[in-house]
């Protein structure tokens, strides 16, 4: 994942995990089912809000976002 120093706040963004627009490093995470050719929608998420779990049997990394 590519890390950016600050979020892009131009469209009223709020982190989907913490619900804030606080400053800090963010990563762009691809949104599943939005693939269109080589393009995919991506969501900015604070790096510090990410706490992934590894489902080893299925080979999937995930985190529940409420």
Residue ranges that bind Zn ion, judged by CB under 5 A = 15, 17-18, 46, 49
Compute the least distance from the CB of residue 44 to Zn ion, in Å: 9
Task: Tell me the C-alpha distance between 20 and 54, whole Å.
Answer: 26
37: alpha, beta or left, given left = phi > 0 and alpha = psi -120 to 50?
left
Eight-state DSSP code of residue 57: T
Compute the least distance from the CB of residue 17 to Zn ion, in Å: 5
Compute the least distance from the CB of residue 36 to Zn ion, in Å: 27
Nearer to Zn ion (CB atom), residue 18 or residue 60:
18
């Amino acid at each position: 994942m590519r890390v950016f120093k600050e979020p892009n706040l131009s469209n009223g963004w709020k982190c989907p995990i913490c619900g804030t627009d606080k400053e800090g490093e963010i990563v762009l995470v691809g949104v599943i089912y939005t693939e269109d050719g080589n393009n995919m929608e991506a969501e900015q998420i604070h790096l510090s809000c990410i706490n992934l779990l590894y489902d080893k049997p299925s080979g999937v990394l995930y985190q529940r976002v409420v």
